[in-house]
Amino acid sequence: MILSVSRRTDIPNYYMEWFLERLKEEVVCIRNPYNPHQVSRIPLRKEDIDCIVFWTKHPSGLIEQLNELNDYMYYIQFTLTGYGKDIEPSLPDKRTVLIPQFLSLAEKLGNERIVWRYDPIMINGRYTVEYHIKAFEQIATALDGATDHVVISFLDLYRKMKSRENKNDPFREVTKEEIYELSAEFVNIAKQHRMTVMTCSEEISLDHLGIEHGCCIDKSKIEELLGYKLKAKKDNNQRATCGCMQSIDIGSYDTCPSGCVYCYATETKDHVEFNRKRYDIHSKLLCDSISTTDKITLRKVASLKM
């Protein structure tokens, strides 16, 4: 079993104590976002968990609890962009907090267990192509030697963004010409800092620039970290362009208070505030509890080791 922790919220920042409690109790529950009264009960036996993939923009809680994870293999998808407080209002300063956190994790875990994500790439009057090239180069320089590769993706204009973006300077789709220009620059910069560039869920082919279609839940990477082969298929629950292998995501939508403009996992600030009031580290559901109308189904899980 591969645990995704989580595409839907920043567990390493806000809910690490809850996650560790789930590991101790060896069980977690997940509410079906499309059928809320359907709840899956997931056993979390240590011998069944092959790898944990963490997703975060600010891994403070994870860093504080690293020793609690010594018995598990895991790696970290760490998003570091060039955006300011107008786009990522709750994140601390990159130069003084986030980049030092990245470097510290790389030193403790190894650069193969921490992935830099520069995504999503969005274009408007402030965040131009030139801006992104400069920001990418600054971050790549700071992370030199701390990671093997960087993942990029380009903005999909989610409906949820419309209520959060600046109406006077809205974002737009990135053109094919801009994608080619940015990608070519990123490849050159990455090479100088010992990184390869991969895309995430992109239809456009950038093979001619030396950029492969990447996978966030990466079967090859996980097999290399584990030292054994996995019997796993592509995750058909993700977008068609997503190459990730099957995993179980234990997060919940509308629970991340970071307030990033580009977030697809939150509807409104009110939704998040309502859910966070129900946070209980002892609950098997994140920011939620089991009700009498819920139908609970035990999900069979096992190690994917061949």
Domain membership flag for residue 148: yes
| Mean pLDDT calculated for residue range 22-51 | 96
Distance CA 27, CA 54 (A): 18
Q: What is the pLDDT of residues 46-67, one digit of tens each?
A: 999 999 999 999 999 999 999 9
| Mean pLDDT calculated for residue range 251-266 | 94
233 vs 231 pLDDT, higher one = 231
Per the structure, the complete domain to which residue 54 belongs is given by 2-298
Domain membership flag for residue 303: no
Domain membership flag for residue 92: yes
Distance CA 284, CA 261 (A): 29
In the predicted model, what is the mean pLDDT of the chain? 93
Question: Which residues touch 170 (CB under 8 Å, ≥6 apart)?
Answer: 124
Domain membership flag for residue 305: no
Give the global pTM. Answer: 0.95
| pLDDT greater than 80 at residue 291 | yes
| pLDDT greater than 70 at residue 263 | yes
The two structure tokens encoding residue 171: 């974002």
Distance CA 10, CA 16 (A): 9
Domain membership flag for residue 263: yes
Distance CA 126, CA 161 (A): 17
| pLDDT greater than 90 at residue 216 | no
| Mean pLDDT calculated for residue range 93-100 | 97
Judged by phi (left if over 0) then psi (alpha if -120 to 50, else beta), residue 195 lies in beta
Nearest to 150 by CA among 183, 208, 91, 190: 190
Domain membership flag for residue 237: yes
For residue 235, the SS3 value is coil
Burial of 295 (0-12, 13-18, 19+ CB in 10 A): exposed
Top-ranked range on mean pLDDT: pick from 165-179, 236-250, 283-297:
283-297
Q: What is the pLDDT of residues 149-174, one digit of tens each?
A: 999 999 877 666 777 788 888 898 89
Domain membership flag for residue 306: no
| pLDDT greater than 70 at residue 138 | yes
Q: Which residue type is seen at 47? A: E
Count of structural domains within the chain: 1
Largest pairwise CA distance in the chain? 58
Nearest to 155 by CA among 218, 198, 211, 200: 200
| Mean pLDDT calculated for residue range 31-41 | 94
The pLDDT value recorded for residue 201 is 75
For residue 59, the SS3 value is coil
Strand 51-56 vs strand 74-79: parallel, antiparallel, or unpaired? parallel
Beta bridge partners of 230: 305
CB atoms within 10 A of CB 8: 22
Type and span of the H or E element at 89: none
Q: What is the pLDDT of residues 68-80, one digit of tens each?
A: 999 999 999 999 9
Distance CA 150, CA 134 (A): 16
